[in-house]
Structure 1
Amino acid sequence: MVIHPFLIKFAGSVITAKDMMLKKNFLWAIQLFIIILSGCSKKTVVSSSSSEYREDLSSVRPRFEYVEPSVTPKAAPVTTPKASTAPKPDVDKPLYVNKRLETVLDTLAKHNKSIRYVNGFRIQMYVGNVRQEADDAKSYVYQAFPDLIPYVSYTQPTYRVKVGDFMYRTDAEQYLELIRERYSSAVILSDRVDIKRSLMINPTAESN
């Protein structure tokens, strides 16, 4: 069998191209293997170096001696109690309540002393236009009833003579009976009376 030289040449070229592809793939595989190996070798070196490195640095380290600090206890400040300026109530004294009561009573007494007049009664014994008759009624009161005070008022043309400072109507009624023996028209009227003068009246003594 005779093979044409062209076929032989073509077959040789086909084989050569196939070999080239294999070589190229082989080179790529080798390069990839080297890259992988180099990466693993670096990690191995780092890990091995970090684990194997041992050095004693105690000789060059600075040394400090620890000294326990001495603590002296502070003395607590002495505080003296301040004297209170507020007056303390006399709780322990048994007469404390009585003193307060006396103070209140003194205040009431002073207030009562300032009140001079109260509503009371007087006896009107004369009403007229003659001044002489009004003066006679006034003189009669001084003579017959020395503990009573006569009051003469004048509103033109009338004179009025009232007598007494009675806080109670019953006291005025006892004097009214005696005054009517001479002045029958005498009557009891409400009026403002002097407290001190009313206390000086003793209707019981006059009635006896």
Structure 2
Amino acid sequence: MNRILNFFLALVLLAGTSCASSSASNKTGSEAKIGTGKARVSEDLSVYRPKYETPDAGTTAARVEPTNHDNAQVAALMDTVVNVNRNIKYAQGYRILAYNGSERQTVMNLRKSIISRVPEVKDYLTYNQPNFRLMIGDFFNRVEAQQVLNQLSDLLPNAQIVQDKINIPKSY
């Protein structure tokens, strides 16, 4: 066993020394790279680069006008799309469910504190006997709803973001 190990170590040592880099004595000047054994080659490839003629400053190319240009038809179609979109009042979005319970005074106090904290966000209070449900905001994406929920996290520790049909504001 010891013999096989010695033989293996001698073989590894022999292979390691035989692969060592040769001296850089046969390389000259800037072509020799120290320690790697590879020569640095510099070539001039400008001969193979394509050459393009540049137009004179006085001459300009003729402007190409598009054919089948239907600006009037496209504008009419866009106007109909705008009118249809103006009639859309609702969209699928997100709201914050702030309260769902049967205590009227609790929901009214909570609503007042929310309005004082974030007055720009609209609230929706519904009563479905025997429960009051307080929803906050009309958010198109969950990130917007999460930002408002972070502002109200100390007031509403159990609030949730829920998907709901939202009102589209007039500014859109």
Structure 2 length-normalised TM:
0.57
Cα pair 1:117 1:195 within 8 Å, conserved:
yes
Task: Tell me which residue corresponds to 2:109.
Answer: 136
Cα pair 1:125 1:179 within 8 Å, conserved:
no
More helix by share: 1
Tell me how far apart the structure 1 counterparts of residues 125 and 170 of structure 2 sit (CA, whole Å).
17
Q: Alpha carbons of 1:178 and 1:197: their partners in 2 closer, same or farther (altered >3 Å)?
A: farther
| Amino acid paired to 1:124 | L
Task: Tell me which residue corresponds to 1:149.
Answer: 122
2:109 pairs with 1:107: no
Cα drift, residue 198 of structure 1: 8.5
Residue identity (%): 29
| Amino acid paired to 1:112 | N
Tell me how far apart the structure 2 counterparts of residues 121 and 101 of structure 1 sit (CA, whole Å).
34
2:92 pairs with 1:119: yes
Task: Tell me which residue corresponds to 2:148.
Answer: 175
Secondary structure of 1:139's aligned partner: helix
Tell me how far apart the structure 2 counterparts of residues 198 and 170 of structure 1 sit (CA, whole Å).
20
Cα drift, residue 154 of structure 1: 1.3
Q: Alpha carbons of 1:150 and 1:177: their partners in 2 closer, same or farther (altered >3 Å)?
A: same
Q: Alpha carbons of 1:132 and 1:198: their partners in 2 closer, same or farther (altered >3 Å)?
A: farther
2:139 pairs with 1:166: yes
Cα pair 1:152 1:160 within 8 Å, conserved:
yes
Tell me how far apart the structure 2 counterparts of residues 174 and 136 of structure 1 sit (CA, whole Å).
22
Structure 2, gaps ≥5 residues long? 1-66
Task: Tell me which residue corresponds to 2:5.
Answer: none
Cα offsets for 1:107-165 (capped at 9, x unmatched): 00000011110010000111221111111122122211111111011122211100000
2:158 pairs with 1:185: yes
Secondary structure of 2:169's aligned partner: helix
Number of paired residues?
A: 106
Cα pair 1:165 1:197 within 8 Å, conserved:
no
Cα drift, residue 194 of structure 1: 0.7
Secondary structure of 1:146's aligned partner: coil
Structure 1, gaps ≥5 residues long? 1-93, 200-208
Secondary structure of 1:196's aligned partner: coil
Cα offsets for 1:63-120 (capped at 9, x unmatched): xxxxxxxxxxxxxxxxxxxxxxxxxxxxxxx996212111111000000011110010
Q: Give me the CA root mean square deviation.
A: 2.0
| Amino acid paired to 2:147 | Q
Cα offsets for 1:150-201 (capped at 9, x unmatched): 10111222111000000111111111111121110000011000111685xx
Structure number with greater Rg is 1
